[in-house]
Structure 1
């Protein structure tokens, strides 16, 4: 298989419906056979549990890892890495329900990740420069199907065949990329490898372009399917609407969109009025509804599990719940003309401030180790709190059922809310009123239940919680580089959007759904694509123009260890700050790729 270094966009063909699709260049690869071949090799090689450090030991590398890499590596088969990661996912799944093979399955999953990293590194070493970058991109972001080229009787027995949405993509249905499999299997060591990060960085910056594969789109525009290629801003149109799905640009756009949302939220709360809906509140509701629609489309695009890997996903979910309750109460209060209910709706909206302000910091510093640790610790805290609440609910029921048996007649009996408040205070060690009033439940059983609850909740639970959070934080700090690279890979993979709805800024995306979605069922795919592209370029013309001018000068200006594409610089931008230095030639000698004859002579020395 040959990958030309100056490839930009391959020719496309028309199918029977008139759609323009690039034929899948990897359709002939025996993915199904390779998956089961790898599984048999791994199971025959690993019969005993080993730690990750033992598998990376030099002796283990010579005896197991390197022979398997030599056996699996095939310069003509770019699906080997995908198949290894698919097997890792299956071994991780097996260790969760096969107790007798739990440790062995974890070892096999770890070995699959190590082999995938080594095979990808072998591809990188054998294919330097732009040729290698394009090849690595095909390995990581080209779509493969687990049942690809499986026997017909196997495909007929596939139980998940009817579970996928029916959205035609010219033969690219049911495809999953190796990068997505690495994310869902949390292959952090693989994602942090230099070869993988080279592709992730190129995709993030828009140097490598491709048509993303998604589960389902709200506004599907699949008239064209472009191949994986290197992007040249000098050969692309000035208003190139495909640049709106470049992860780096999308990240900047999303930060600006969220800043606008935060500004409108502040104006709404500053000029709040319970008696009428202000203009600021109307604008905020329209914009927030469009912003939430975009977040829902992002969840549908790649699934709930991938979306929740973002460090700010729990903040988005919290804002969605708060905003939904606020809108429901606000609309109902306007219908029944209830000022008190409207005030309560605005009070609920004010609770969103602790969610929105940190969310902006998460957007601006996604690689910050504190935020990455906070997300993981919030997950552990939520799980442990739910389990503890479930277990300690028995204490509440016991006190509730003991209610009213106190011999004292002059004191009011505590209600359910009061009992819950006392238990919460004792849980966090804030107040001891529950101990003083425990005899109101029962002269003997009341104090005994309170003391038992305080010991289990305040002492045992909090000790376990602190230990868990400390352990989680220490693991993240220990693997800080892998964690940062993993989050960057998630951000890059989610940034390449397939749904046409992401090309419209809130609240125009709501209008796009109302207008374009019914229009799709009326006109042909070709005309729907033309209407969609025209609307996107019209509404984003200033932004697309700025992107085009910037990328023609800056896109392929990279560091010395990154691939470059030759280009003719515009006369308007010939002078740069990097060249205005007495030491500029030291970097410049590495910035330009040397001619082929120089490379051949250097290898002979």
Structure 2
């Protein structure tokens, strides 16, 4: 009996007529034909044409996800999962999500199309195996170059040279965006910074639906060098980032199971790969976000200890050795933040709420140092005391900054977005309060000008606003016997009842609005931090305060070592010499952690390549024959396109349809689930065939 073949999506789409959707204007839309070798701009343009054609009316996210409004999106997902092999497909969908959100033509329609792109992106990942999902999410958009191999090699060397020396070069400031872009390219600043500079050009003058073919006017060029997860963070795709399949990848990056650098050598290249403890350089563990965060907490703890020591000693006559150490810590902190801003770019740096605390801490530290030097040089005790008073303000931000590690927990991490949103609404509401307050302040000051000065009246009204209503009743007749009582009653009523009640209700609504999406908000904050800490283009990353040592040594050393290979080798040597104790502690932790774990425990997907084990637990290298998946007649086999992530393990065979996999759960099918789906599909077909044969025999 010949095996039954599953019809392709194109055949089913042609044979099965569909009812036009009222949400899509009655048009079914021509499915985009995306080739594997299409450049990023072409992929974006083809997807944009389809999304624009099928989403023509404003629709909510839930309507597109659960109703017939999203039928065309389901067709697109199935078509892309079976026919498209372009690695930039998820990047393009998320870039379109950002574009439609930024569009100012029709806000409702733009949000609907942005939601459609986000839905298609995450549903596409659920149709892929987990390793394919890693490939798609961590694929970085390459720059469009000529086909010449030598030119490609030259560009790659230039990029490596730029990324390695980025932290050592000064940031030039210019007045025009064009000059700023040229300076950033010349100094090797991360391409992520260019995205911030091209926002106005992209949203105001260019669209993804058309435009000049000139590369200089290409709005998609701003996304060059970004992977899908970074674009999702920029596009505010919180639902996409909160999907389980995406969070598995981010958690793998956080734990160091997925790394971008596996060696510290002159010719090392940045690309995503699974961590292999037997082949990777131990010093590459310095780039793991989990260890970066742990050392950051230790650095801030020592920073706080020096801070308290200087304030307790408070020497007004000279700079003590402890204060010198505090200045060193301040310098290392400022230089590390500057390097982080250059590596991550303005968008990512501003997305992390704790970076605002860092900026304020740096400003207070610089002001303290300036005032301290001026006071000691002039021997002015007042300026010295003012400097220490300014330094006292540092505790308001340093203590919460040390406790920022709590934001990585689900409970505390949920409260931060709530407080952030409530703070925004509070500031907006206070504009109305100030307007009303200024009106009454002007009136009361003029009416009671003979008895109360402007500062006295300001203090009286401020006390009333903050709940001391009896103050108003005590002074209303003194202000004016005729107009004072009625005006004061109106002001007290507005302050105590109307404004305070409205403010409380508004903040409560803000809290409820954010807490209803608490998981998405928390995972967004968590994802931004992981991406910010892991996607640096610099090979050598010095922990503070060792980064100051690298700055002092290698800034003048650039004069004597013009060769980039020698310069990079020298940085690697210094990194290994200074960070050897830290790496030793990391290796000891991983050794103990590995021994304490149950060897038979299923550790999840992101634990490196899975290997077969014997009864004694000795790993056995899989044979080459086992690495070749069989091509079944009812299976659509996708060839591997990325050797960086999938070198260690074979691709999983993915069926033409994933059966009953819930595409909205965000779970990507594992290899076992894929094979179970294949067997279930064959059993269903065999059962259906037997039933039909029995029915045919009964009719005879």
Is TM more than 0.5 here? yes
In 2: Cα distance, 1:358 partner to 1:39 partner:
44
Q: Give the direction of change, closer, same or farther, for the CA distance of 1:426–1:601 in structure 2 (3 Å limit).
A: closer
Question: Is the 1:55–1:111 contact (alpha carbons within 8 Å) kept by the matching residues of 2?
Answer: yes
- The 5 Å alignment of 1:426-441 reads 426-430=464-468, 433=471
In 2: Cα distance, 1:170 partner to 1:398 partner:
52
Q: Give the direction of change, closer, same or farther, for the CA distance of 1:517–1:568 in structure 2 (3 Å limit).
A: farther
Per the alignment, residue 69 of structure 1 pairs with: 77
Per the alignment, residue 140 of structure 2 pairs with: 143
Residue 57 of structure 1, aligned match among 66, 78, 92: 66
How many angstroms does 1:519 deviate by?
Answer: 3.1
Question: Is the 1:39–1:87 contact (alpha carbons within 8 Å) kept by the matching residues of 2?
Answer: yes
Question: Is the 1:286–1:507 contact (alpha carbons within 8 Å) kept by the matching residues of 2?
Answer: yes
The one-character-per-residue Cα deviations of 1:184-226 (angstroms, maximum 9, x if unpaired) are 22211111112211211111111212259xxxxxxxx996423
How many angstroms does 1:45 deviate by?
Answer: 0.7
Deviates more, 1:483-492 or 1:457-466: 457-466
In 2: Cα distance, 1:147 partner to 1:451 partner:
70
Per the alignment, residue 39 of structure 2 pairs with: 30
- Structure 1: 5+ residue stretches without partners: 1-25, 125-131, 150-157, 213-220, 575-592
Q: Give the direction of change, closer, same or farther, for the CA distance of 1:538–1:304 in structure 2 (3 Å limit).
A: same
In 2: Cα distance, 1:492 partner to 1:282 partner:
33
1:109 pairs with 2:151: no
Q: Give the direction of change, closer, same or farther, for the CA distance of 1:255–1:184 in structure 2 (3 Å limit).
A: same
Deviates more, 1:182-191 or 1:363-372: 363-372
Residue 99 of structure 2, aligned match among 79, 90, 93: 90
Residue 342 of structure 2, aligned match among 297, 300, 305: 300
Question: Is the 1:396–1:420 contact (alpha carbons within 8 Å) kept by the matching residues of 2?
Answer: no
How many angstroms does 1:271 deviate by?
Answer: 2.5
Deviates more, 1:383-392 or 1:529-538: 383-392
Query: Per the alignment, in what secondary structure is the counterpart of residue 49 of structure 1?
Result: coil
In 2: Cα distance, 1:452 partner to 1:441 partner:
15
Per the alignment, residue 278 of structure 2 pairs with: 234
- The 5 Å alignment of 1:44-443 reads 44-57=53-66, 59-61=68-70, 63-73=71-81, 74=83, 76-94=85-103, 97-98=104-105, 101-124=106-129, 132-133=130-131, 135-144=132-141, 162=182, 164-167=184-187, 174-210=224-260, 224-237=268-281, 240-382=282-424, 384-385=426-427, 388-389=430-431, 392=434, 395-396=437-438, 399=441, 406=448, 408=450, 413-415=453-455, 418-430=456-468, 433=471
The one-character-per-residue Cα deviations of 1:122-145 (angstroms, maximum 9, x if unpaired) are 122xxxxxxx43x33332222216
The one-character-per-residue Cα deviations of 1:45-77 (angstroms, maximum 9, x if unpaired) are 11122222222216445x222101123334521
Deviates more, 1:36-45 or 1:390-399: 390-399
Q: Give the direction of change, closer, same or farther, for the CA distance of 1:223–1:596 in structure 2 (3 Å limit).
A: closer
Question: Is the 1:49–1:104 contact (alpha carbons within 8 Å) kept by the matching residues of 2?
Answer: yes
RMSD: 4.1
How many angstroms does 1:236 deviate by?
Answer: 2.3
How many angstroms does 1:308 deviate by?
Answer: 3.3
In 2: Cα distance, 1:511 partner to 1:334 partner:
27
Question: Is the 1:373–1:472 contact (alpha carbons within 8 Å) kept by the matching residues of 2?
Answer: no
Per the alignment, residue 529 of structure 2 pairs with: 491
1:531 pairs with 2:551: no
Question: Is the 1:140–1:178 contact (alpha carbons within 8 Å) kept by the matching residues of 2?
Answer: yes
The one-character-per-residue Cα deviations of 1:369-407 (angstroms, maximum 9, x if unpaired) are 345334442454256436635872675487469757747
Q: Give the direction of change, closer, same or farther, for the CA distance of 1:512–1:444 in structure 2 (3 Å limit).
A: farther
The count of corresponding residues between Structure 1 and Structure 2 is: 525
Deviates more, 1:200-209 or 1:461-470: 461-470
In 2: Cα distance, 1:446 partner to 1:284 partner:
56
Per the alignment, residue 9 of structure 1 pairs with: none
In 2: Cα distance, 1:148 partner to 1:69 partner:
30
Question: Is the 1:406–1:439 contact (alpha carbons within 8 Å) kept by the matching residues of 2?
Answer: no
1:470 pairs with 2:484: no
Question: Is the 1:380–1:469 contact (alpha carbons within 8 Å) kept by the matching residues of 2?
Answer: yes
TM-score of the aligned structures, taking structure 2 as reference length: 0.65
In 1: Cα distance, 2:336 partner to 2:190 partner:
26
Question: Is the 2:258–2:606 contact (alpha carbons within 8 Å) kept by the matching residues of 1?
Answer: no
The one-character-per-residue Cα deviations of 1:227-270 (angstroms, maximum 9, x if unpaired) are 22112111123xx3332111111111111111111222222223
Q: Give the direction of change, closer, same or farther, for the CA distance of 1:231–1:307 in structure 2 (3 Å limit).
A: same
Computing the radius of gyration over CA atoms, which structure comes out larger, 1 or 2?
Answer: 2
